Copies of this chain bind each other. A is one copy, B any other.
C-alpha cells in the first residue's frame, strides 16, 4: 500500500501513534507498519520530512537521545498537536462517509 493512497491523512496517523506514547522516527514507522498489519510501510524519504513539518507546525516536539550507541530523535505530541489530531479524526469521519457512500457498489450486477 502506497502512502500516496493515504495522502493528506498521514499526518493524522503519525499524530495518533505518537499520542499513544512518544516515539522516535524509526519507531513511528514500526508502529504504523504493525498497526496496519504490514500494509503501511513508509519510505524514510516520506516519513522524516513529514515529521520535521509536523514539528515546524508546532504539533510535535522533538528531543535527541542516544540509545545503544545510536542517536535517535524522539517526538511527542504538543497541546496544539492534540487539537490537530482531534480535527483530523473528525475530518476523517466525513471523508470516510462520503467516499464510502459514493464508492459503495450500487449495482446488484
Count A interface residues, CB 8 Å: 35
Q: Are A1 and B98 in contact (CB under 8 A)?
A: yes
Q: Contact at B98–A92, with CB atoms within 8 Å? A: no
The one of B4, B36, B99, B102 that contacts A98, using a Cβ cutoff of 8 Å? B36
Interface centre among A17, A89, A102, A105 (most CB of B within 10 A): A102
State the A residues within 8 Å of B (CB).
Answer: 1, 4-9, 12-13, 16-17, 19-20, 32, 35-36, 39-40, 88-89, 91-92, 94-96, 98-107
- 11 CB contacts below 8 A, A to B, read A5-B95, A6-B99, A7-B7, A13-B99, A13-B102, A13-B103, A20-B107, A35-B102, A36-B101, A36-B102, A40-B102
